[in-house]
Amino acid sequence: MEDNRVRYLGYVSIVLCLAAIHTVDQPKLSPAEQEILDVRNARTEASNNRDLEAWSRYIADDCIFSSDAGDRLTKAQVSRPVTNLPREYDYSVDPREAVVHVYGDAAVLNLRFTVHERFTDSDIVSEMRATETYVKRNGAWILVARQWGKIPVNYRKPAAVDTHNYKDYAGQYEWRPVDDFEAISVKDGKLWTQTGKDAAEEMLPMGAEAFFLKGELGTNTFIRDAQGRVTGYTYRDADGQEVHVRKIR
C-alpha cells in the first residue's frame, strides 16, 4: 500500500511554489502572456503566505487537478497544505522554462520545476513538469486545470565492476520489428547504447550483468545462454513490467 505521507506530500507540489519564474534565459513574453505568468506568481505568493482566501481567488471551484500518481483531485483536496503546513516546512522549487500560449479568453502555461523535500536527514529531489489551463472570467484569469508529472531522473550510483565482459554485450538488439535497431558498443572502457539517430547514452553498471541509464528509472540485465553467449537483455520498468530484448547480431 502506498505511503499516505508520500501521497500527501505529492499534493504539496500542487500548491507550493516558493520562487518566482527565473528571468535568466527566459524568453521575453508578450503582455498577454506575461499576464498569465503574473497570475500564477500571485497564486504562488498566496500559498507561500498560507493565505487560503487569496489563493482560492485564483482557482476555479471546479478546477481539475491531475497528479503525478494519476489521481484526479478537487480544489478542496489540494487546499489543505495551504493552511496545514507549518511555515518552517523545508520545501522549495526552481520554476523555469515557462511557455505561455494565449487563445482569446483561454491560456495554457507549461513549465518545469525542481522539488526539494526534507525528510529528517534526507533531501528528496524530484524533477517535475506541469501544464496549467486558465480561462478569463469576469475580466480575471482563473486556473481551471493543472496536470503535473515527474521527469525521469535516475539517482542511482554506478557500481565498481570489471569491464572485461563489456565486449560480450556489444552488438545489435531488437525491441520489436517496428522500432529502429539498438546498437550497444564499447568505447573508452564504457558501455554505450544508441537507437536510430538518437544521441548515444552511457549504460551505467549496477552489477556484473545489470545496467541503468541516467534518463530512465528501469534497469537492463543481460542474458546468457548455456554456452555463456549474450542472447539479449531484460528491461525491467520501474513498475515491474518486463521487456525481453533480443540480440540479433
Mean pLDDT for each consecutive 10-residue tract of the chain (249 residues)?
A: 40 56 68 94 88 95 94 92 69 85 97 84 88 96 96 92 95 93 96 94 95 94 97 95 96
pLDDT in tens, 115-166: 887 777 788 889 999 999 999 999 999 999 999 999 988 999 999 999 999 9
The answer to whether residues 169 and 179 touch, using CB atoms and an 8 Å cutoff, is no
User: What's the pTM?
Assistant: 0.77
Look at residue 49 in the predicted model and tell me its pLDDT: 84
Look at residue 1 in the predicted model and tell me its pLDDT: 29
Look at residue 3 in the predicted model and tell me its pLDDT: 35
Look at residue 89 in the predicted model and tell me its pLDDT: 63
Three-state helix/strand/coil letters over the chain: CCCHHHHHHHHHHHHCCCCCCCCCCCCCCCHHHHHHHHHHHHHHHHHHCCCHHHHHHCEEEEEEEECCCCCEECHHHHCHHHHHCCCCCCEECCCEEEEEEEECCEEEEEEEEEEEEEECCEEEEEEEEEEEEEEEECCEEEEEEEEEEECCCCCCCCCCCCHHHHHHHCEEEECCCCCCCEEEEEECCEEEEEECCCCCEEEEECCCCEEECCCCCCEEEEEECCCCCEEEEEEECCCCCEEEEEECC
Look at residue 19 in the predicted model and tell me its pLDDT: 56
Question: In this prediction, what percent of the chain has a pLDDT beyond 90?
Answer: 66
Look at residue 241 in the predicted model and tell me its pLDDT: 97
Look at residue 18 in the predicted model and tell me its pLDDT: 52
